Amino acid sequence: MQMIASALASAALVIGYWLLSRRYSSAVENRLLHQMLMTENQAIREGLLLDIENAVNDLKLDDFKSAYEKLREIGYLITGNQVKVLKLMCLSHFILRSDMDLELATLIPTGFEPDFVRYLHEVSKISPQLVRRDVLDYVIKHRKAIEDFPDGRETLALIAGAALRVKGYVLQYHDFIADFIEAFPRNRLLRLCRLLQGSYSEVPALYDQAKDKVKLKYDFDPEFQGLL
């Protein structure tokens, strides 16, 4: 167990070294970072180190597909923010499709990360089922930063719409959903109304807001009749 812990710590250091070298190469002395890495060499387990080095080499060659595949395997052992950032870097170069084996919860970073928000925007359109409680908590925590981001309002509306998959999410995140109800297309509003049936006492403000929008836009639509 101690050997595994040492390996994971050293692996994180390798990734951190590469990230720092890439992001701050003009401001940080790479020699000092290299010395820091060398002091940990004895603790690095060969197999894990090889996987990480191969992934970093793929990134240097702009082979983002190969790098992502390796990083996703590494991510089963190393769940820290550095691996997530590298995976997001790779994913930003992909054209995402709904038939792909996409991940989301395993990519949630520790802080606001632009690449994650961009990825989240696309995933919430093609695979909204991946938006779960941990993603909603992240979005609410960083709502202001996301809202100020390009297409941020649209991203938030997509997430609010994705939350309508589960009634429990509607009850828990009702204030967030209410803020974006005006952006919901017909099918999302219909879904919301069905989920809100019999729940007036739990979320009266959201219930009334949904009812008002139905009256304004879909008052004569038979599918909305009698829902609220």
91 assigned to some structural domain: no
Q: Is the pLDDT of residue 36 over 80?
A: no
21 assigned to some structural domain: no
pLDDT of 17 reads 52
227 assigned to some structural domain: yes
> What does the block give as tokens for 181?
């109800």
pLDDT of 37 reads 46
pLDDT of 16 reads 56
pLDDT of 82 reads 84
175-216 residue pLDDT tens: 999 999 999 999 999 999 999 999 999 999 999 999 999 999
> How many CB atoms sit inside 10 A of residue 44's CB?
20
In this predicted model, which residue has the larger pLDDT, 173 or 15? 173
- Percent of the chain topping pLDDT 70: 79
Average pLDDT over every residue of 86-105: 94
- Alpha-carbon dihedral sign for residues 28, 31, 36, 38: positive
Average pLDDT over every residue of 123-139: 97
Is the distance from CB of 200 to CB of 167 less than 8 angstroms?
no
Specify the range with the lowest mean pLDDT, choosing from 17-31, 40-54, 89-103, 144-158: 17-31
Closest to 158 measured CA to CA, from 134, 126, 125: 125
156 assigned to some structural domain: no
Average pLDDT score over the chain: 85
Is the distance from CB of 158 to CB of 124 less than 8 angstroms?
yes
Structure confidence at residue 10 as a pLDDT band (50, 70, 90): low
98 assigned to some structural domain: no
Question: Which residues form the domain of 180?
Answer: 166-228
Structure confidence at residue 2 as a pLDDT band (50, 70, 90): very low
228 assigned to some structural domain: yes
State the total domains in the chain.
1
pLDDT of 26 reads 43
184 assigned to some structural domain: yes
